[in-house]
Amino acid sequence: MASYRAPLDDIRFVVNDMLNFTDHYATLKEVEQVDRETFDLLLEQGGKFCEEVLHPLYRSGDEAGCEFDGGEVRLPAGYREARARFVEAGWPALTARKKWGGQHLPRSLAIAINEMMCATNPPWVMLTGLPNGVMMAMEAGGKASGDDALEHRYFPGFVDGRFSATMCLTEPHCGTDLGLLRTRAEPQEDGSYRLSGTKIFISYGEHDCAENIIHLVLARLPGAPSGTSGISMFVVPKFLVDEEGRGGARNAVSCGAIEHKMGYAASPTCVMNFEGAVGHIVGRPNEGLRYMFVMMNDARIGSGMAGLGLANASFQGALAYAKERLQSRALSGAQNPDGPADPILVHPGVRQLLLTQKALTEGCRALVLDTARWCDVADYGATQEARAFAQQRLGLLTPIVKGFVTEVSNEVVSHGVQVLGGHGYIRESGMEQLMRDCRVTTIYEGTTQVQAMDLIGRKVMLDKGAALTSLVADILAFCDAHVAHPRVGAHAASLRNKAQEWHQLAAETGVAALNAPDEAGAASVDFLMYSGYVVVGFYWLKLMLAAEEKLAAGGDPGFCHGKFKAADFYFRRLLPRTLSLAVTLRAGAGSLMEMNEEEF
């Protein structure tokens, strides 16, 4: 199994040198302030936990998998102990409000640490990450209804680690189309509800690592409208919980089976049966999907981070191997004359794979961490205007983080297998596990195709391009300010052209879709990928400038020049992918939609 070292210097470079999180935190209201020393300390502690506790369990958990026996699920050896250490260290309390026992630190801090957890044991992260999203969704419902009684009942248990959580959305017949769901919720005289139905693909729906499992369930009330406008959200515990948060009798919810998956073998994906289970409505009737989207959007960013973490782990393993593996001689002459062959790092084909890994991973890290910064502003910005703008920017970036980052992460982990060749294909190297686990990141929380339609349909067309126009304006202004810069100028000019074309492609697609709605769907995935390459290019310009300032201040020359050269590679070798994307974007829906079913 490949070794892993927490990329502390790279994360610090983004949050300190490029994004300046310390000044960012000073602009927030309500949330606790975090200085650089505290951030560094928590980052180091998180990295140590990942290296020493999570990473050793990654392969063993994959090989052992989960055991299902009569409705009970046992996680692999070591998982229970790892969660206990996680709770003991206070990690579940990191971002929770103080009134529930939390530390109320900014969400961006947790997201930064989450990269390392995803890199070392992504199946385990599903167990510990879900309660945060559940609390966000329940809090949104509580604000809408003006009732926080359920928060008082459940949140302390999430924060002190007694409770874990799930999100129960889809059913066997509906997939992503939640408007088709059939789970029913019958009102009772005491104000509770009885839920009946079956949910599938429920991560950690049953396990042996917490006192109680709290399910957030989408269901229909009697007489509710059809489609998504008739969905309500309910909280349904495995064991009934009284108003003081104390556990009671077993509820009528059970695990009927666990799925046998391509990856994430240590994370039980459960079929959950609700047979008149007692639950309580969250928020107002028929508004459940709106509250659940709060959790889903957070999970979409988490899926992007999972892809990023796995990509970084693959790059680390591939780079270490390329430096040590001796094979053939360099085309320019022997580089290791005293040995039987040269390290494969000298070969252009291998370097292309490694530089693609490095440029995509580091550019995507900047994108994800800046998206995390917008999460903070949306939650705790100093003014209503700041929060509204952050929400708009966050809405545009989220499908790019979820869709683009996970897609290129799959490319990166595939390159990791390729660098190791035959050794990458066999289990002992650990690279094939990274590839299997990364594959689901493009599926979780809505496939890439769903994210693409969300981006072009809801985030661009529905607001008449306002969010996109705003981001493009920022990119153009930045490029104009640096077009004469000796190191950055040529890349700034190139990106300026791409940003203008991005805006034009959105307009062309919108006009085409007015006459033929399939045009939006036909262009959507290419538009998503084009968007990702432009946005990551924007962050690479910022990373170059930050590296230049760091170098001038006495920073490590190797580190800084590595950023310059990775950026050069990105702009010369990866950003040009937009050329073919622009062509396919403009190709129209005809070649996709004209073929009859019989002609396939």
* Interval 320-335: pLDDT, tens: 999 999 999 989 999 9
Grade residue 174 by pLDDT with cuts at 50, 70 and 90.
confident
Task: Kindly report the average pLDDT of the chain as a whole number.
Answer: 95
Residue 63 is a catalytic residue: no
> What mean pLDDT is predicted for residues 223-247?
93
| 246 contacts 156 by C-beta, under 8 angstroms | no
207: helix, strand or coil: coil
Please determine, for residue 586, whether its predicted confidence score (pLDDT) is greater than 70: yes
- pLDDT bucket at 400, cuts 50 / 70 / 90: very high
Residues whose CB is less than 8 angstroms from the CB of residue 548 and which lie 6 or more positions away in sequence, other chains included: 487, 560, 564
Q: Is residue 490 part of a domain?
A: yes
Position of tokens 């502003």?
Answer: 377
Domain annotation covers residue 222: no
**The length of the chain, given as a count of residues:** 600
d(CA 91, CA 125): 12
Q: What's the pLDDT at 1?
A: 64
Paired with 163 in beta bridges are: 212
* pLDDT, position 177: 83
Whether residue 463 has pLDDT greater than 90: no
- DSSP codes, 144-181: HHT--HHHHHHHHHHHTTSEEEEEE---TTTTT-GGG-
Please give the Cα distance from 576 to 572 (Å, whole number). Answer: 7
pLDDT at 351: 98
Mean pLDDT of 170-178: 87
The share of the chain scoring above pLDDT 70, in percent, equals 100
Q: Is 80 exceeded by the pLDDT of residue 358?
A: yes
Q: What is the mean pLDDT of residues 510-534?
A: 96
| Contacts with 395 (C-beta within 8 Å, 6 or more apart), sequence order | 459, 467
Q: What is the pLDDT of residue 178?
A: 86
pLDDT value for 431: 96
Please pick, among 445, 501, 519, 548, the residue that the annotation labels catalytic. Answer: 445
Q: What is the mean pLDDT of residues 115-128?
A: 95
Write down the residue that tokens 């782990």 correspond to. Answer: 313
Identify the pLDDT of residue 244: 82
Cα–Cα–Cα angle for 431, 429, 66, rounded to 5 degrees: 75
Domain range for 575: 448-590
pLDDT at 551: 98
Most confident listed range (169-178, 236-245, 379-388):
379-388
How many CB atoms sit inside 10 A of residue 161's CB?
21
- CB 503 within 8 Å of CB 486: no
Q: Which helix (H) or strand (E) holds 248?
A: strand 247-250
Sign of CA dihedral 219, 234, 93, 62: negative
Mean pLDDT of all residues in 167-192? 92
| Inside any domain, residue 45 | no
Q: What is the arithmetic mean of pLDDT over 6-21?
A: 97
* Count of domains forming the chain: 1
Residues 412, 375, 7: CA angle, nearest 5 degrees: 40
Is residue 546 one of the residues assigned to a domain? yes
Q: Considering the domain boundaries, does residue 175 fall inside one? A: no
Distances (CA, A) of 275 to 199, 443, 474, 535: 11, 29, 53, 47
pLDDT at 375 over 90: yes
165 or 1, greater pLDDT? 165
